[in-house]
Amino acid sequence: MSDLLKQAAKPHVQSSKSKFYWCYDSCPQCGQSKHRQSKTCNDCRFKRPECEQSSDPSLRRIALTMSQVATVDVAEYNSLTPTKWRAAWSEGMQSYYAVTSRKDKNGRWRTVLMHAEIMGTTGTRLSVYHKNGDTLDNRRSNLRIATQSDNSANSRTQRNSFSGYKGVHWHKPRQKWVVQIGHKGKRIHVGYFIDKHKAALAYNQKAQELFGDFARLNNVPNYYSTAATLSRNAE
């Protein structure tokens, strides 16, 4: 009888998972339960895969969390492997970066980027960008030190872009596509176009002129090509 009274006196605690069952779904990798806003469950998130090394003797691969792998030069491999690197998702770039956490001289934890560590820019205002756009390809030949302006020129198209092209927006009053590009704190107007593909080509031409190797160009189908066509459609 006393056991029944003790059991009745205990407050009923409902698990958060059963209470908020709509917040959970299955992990795409292992099938375990995970929060719906997470890409994977905690087990898969912090698990480092066994990666096979490249057949190229000049390259090495470093396993990260989230089933990601970073590529580095063989000369950097031995200095990087003692550190536990993890994969961090960037919403702005829509890609993963290899990062770790380290205490600074004030005892505060800071995020350290692998590509910044390789180029020696950790703790400075200098940025490092990836030439081929693969943010896990951390070979020195793929890395380049850049200013913040150069890095913004190399940024990708925003996910909510209506045109699907960088620098191309719909101008409602004119009912045409307008091309604009930012450079040294100013917004440069390129022109108005009837066709968004030709507008994207006009952006590419202006971006190459302003940014050179740092420019990230729009991927336009091959049949929209000639500069003569651009001039006929621009105002």
Which of 146, 180, 201 is the endpoint of a domain?
146
Task: Based on the fold, state whether residues 118 and 99 are members of the same structural domain.
Answer: yes
- CB count within 10 Å of CB 223 equals 6
Total number of domains constituting the chain: 2
Q: What radius of gyration, in Å, describes the C-alpha atoms of the chain?
A: 25
Closest-CA residue to 191 (of 175, 206, 204, 180): 180
The whole domain housing 206 covers 156-233
Task: Based on the fold, state whether residues 122 and 186 are members of the same structural domain.
Answer: no
What CATH number is given to the structural domain containing 166? 3.30.730.10
d(CA 183, CA 160): 22
Give a yes or no: residue 199 inside a domain.
Answer: yes
118-133 pLDDT, tens digit each: 999 888 878 888 888 8
Which of 91, 123, 146 is the endpoint of a domain?
146
pLDDT at residue 153, rounded to an integer:
53
Task: Based on the fold, state whether residues 133 and 161 are members of the same structural domain.
Answer: no
83-99 pLDDT, tens digit each: 999 999 888 777 899 99
178-214 pLDDT, tens digit each: 998 887 778 889 999 998 888 888 888 888 888 777 6
Task: Based on the fold, state whether residues 133 and 200 are members of the same structural domain.
Answer: no
pTM exceeds 0.75, yes or no: no
Strands (E), 121-161: 127-130, 143-146
Task: Based on the fold, state whether residues 66 and 135 are members of the same structural domain.
Answer: yes
- CB count within 10 Å of CB 45 equals 17
Weakest-pLDDT range from 34-48, 64-78, 180-194: 34-48
Strands (E), 139-233: 143-146, 168-171, 176-183, 186-193
Give a yes or no: residue 75 inside a domain.
Answer: yes
d(CA 108, CA 111): 10
Which of 146, 172, 201 is the endpoint of a domain?
146
Give a yes or no: residue 17 inside a domain.
Answer: no
